[in-house]
Amino acid sequence: MDDLHIQDEQGRVRLTRGSSRARDVWQLREDEKIVVECNELGQPIKRAGSLLSSFLGSVARRGQLCPLNYHKWNDMLPSYKVELLKFVQKKFVLPPESHDWVLKSLNRKWKEYKSKLKADWKREGMTEEELARVCPPDVYHHQWRELVHYWFFERGQTYSDIGRAARASQTIPHTLGSKSYARLRAEFMEDHGRKPSEVEFYKMTHTHRDGSFVREKSRDIVDRATSLISERIGE
């Protein structure tokens, strides 16, 4: 496990080891920030990158920061997103090239949180009024009422149907868990001194620790790709 670099207001950096969670970020001293590194795509990597991702998940679940009563992320004013980014920068030293990634990650985690709320609380046959009365304890009542109304609104149902169909089309799961693609690429580069090929990366993300594939279809894809590469080399 690599060290976390924590920087104070004077620019002094201290290293810390051991496990860290999102709640530890919330409890950081006001004059300290976690230093984040990025790859060439602007994606946070290493332990700090993983911790940043977890922290963004906790931010997305706080109604005062990411209100649930917006139907879509794009409905939020750009100035609001600027303030949201500034809030994250109170806890992390972020390279400028990572800013887009941070906002996109917040968008994704915010949508995932709303989907989880719907799965946990909305039951078949419930009316809008019934669901509006069972507000989760960590959600603002006015935001919950508006979110519930959106779920029952015809356009909201349409967007949900589209999203459900898109998720159903993803027939081959990956094995990363909470680890990001960027972090996996960075770890491969540290171990091998080069970037993984597309075939190598696909195999890494679709096999278990014992080397077995998550689906037989995954094995077929890797075998076909490897065969094509061998044929081209032999030409």
Can you tell me the distance from the alpha carbon of 205 to that of 82, in angstroms, rounded to the nearest whole number?
34
134: pLDDT strictly greater than 90: yes
Q: Give residue 1's pLDDT band: very low, low, confident or very high (50, 70, 90).
A: low
Residue 162: per-residue pLDDT: 53
Cβ atoms 26, 56 nearer than 8 A: no
Cβ atoms 5, 13 nearer than 8 A: yes
Tell me the sheet residues that pair with 15.
5
Cβ atoms 35, 13 nearer than 8 A: yes
**Cα separations in angstroms, 129 against 12, 138, 145, 148, 214:** 55, 19, 9, 9, 43
Mean pLDDT of 172-184: 69
Can you tell me the distance from the alpha carbon of 88 to that of 56, in angstroms, rounded to the nearest whole number?
8
Count of domains forming the chain: 2
Mean pLDDT of 89-102: 95
Mean pLDDT of 66-80: 90
Q: Which of 168, 201, 224 is where one domain is finished?
A: 168
Considering the chain, what is the average pLDDT of its residues?
Answer: 84
Is the domain of 78 the same as that of 190? no
pLDDT (tens digit per residue) in 5-58: 998 888 888 888 766 788 889 999 999 999 999 998 889 999 899 999 999 999
Is the domain of 103 the same as that of 197? no
Is the domain of 17 the same as that of 97? yes
Is the domain of 141 the same as that of 209? no
Is the domain of 63 the same as that of 111? yes
Residue 177: per-residue pLDDT: 64
Closest to 48 in 3D by CA, of 80, 11, 9, 92: 92
Which residue segment(s) compose the domain that 36 sits in? Answer: 4-168
Q: Give residue 164's pLDDT band: very low, low, confident or very high (50, 70, 90).
A: low
Residue 66: per-residue pLDDT: 94
Can you tell me the distance from the alpha carbon of 31 to that of 18, in angstroms, rounded to the nearest whole number?
21
Q: Which two tokens stand for residue 222?
A: 């890797």
Q: Who has greater pLDDT, 59 or 231?
A: 59
pTM for the predicted model, two decimal places: 0.67
Can you tell me the distance from the alpha carbon of 189 to that of 173, in angstroms, rounded to the nearest whole number?
24
Is the domain of 138 the same as that of 196? no
